[in-house]
A = this chain, B = another copy of it.
Amino acid sequence: MIRIDQRSRVPIYEQIQQSVEELILTGIYTADDQLPSVRTLAADLAINPNTIQKAYHLMERQGLIYSLPGRGSFIALSADDLRSKRTPDVFANLDIVLNDLWQLRISENDVIVHVQESHAAFCNVAQKGGEPHDPAQ
């Protein structure tokens, strides 16, 4: 389930974390579910086990997962916990992007329309469960 893009500039261990977070938010992983072992995942993704190890350590430090020596690694947060944790970050990113927009003299109204379209598109995709539908325009 965990997917990696070898070509991306984002460090692999961060991609793993993003991937796990998405799986939690979409409900595929829930609290106390077991993650694949370091060796298994390393083999699956054809990636150095050290990198997987680093990703798991990172997620553990952030309270995203917990490891039981000799047993494996497990999801530590519910989707709701994760949401309340990540929300401030995402709003901070939104602020940055918005400031760029205001600086380019984009009107508030254009932005709101864009937000509404984005939301509609997202709901559309979520409903269909797979293939994204091209938003018109």
Contact = CB atoms under 8 A, between A and B. Distances in A.
A104 B94 CA distance: 13
Interface string A1-41: 00000110100000000000010011000000000000000
A43 interface: no
Interface of A (DSSP majority class): helix
Interface residues of A, number: 38
Contacts of A115: 98, 108, 111-112, 115
Interface in A90-122: 90-91, 93-95, 97-106, 108, 111-112, 114-116, 118-119, 122
Nearest to A98: B118
Given A6-B68, A97-B97, A111-B94, A105 B119 contact: no
18 contacts: A7-B66, A25-B105, A26-B103, A86-B104, A87-B106, A90-B100, A90-B101, A93-B97, A93-B100, A94-B97, A94-B101, A95-B118, A97-B97, A102-B119, A102-B122, A111-B115, A111-B119, A112-B116
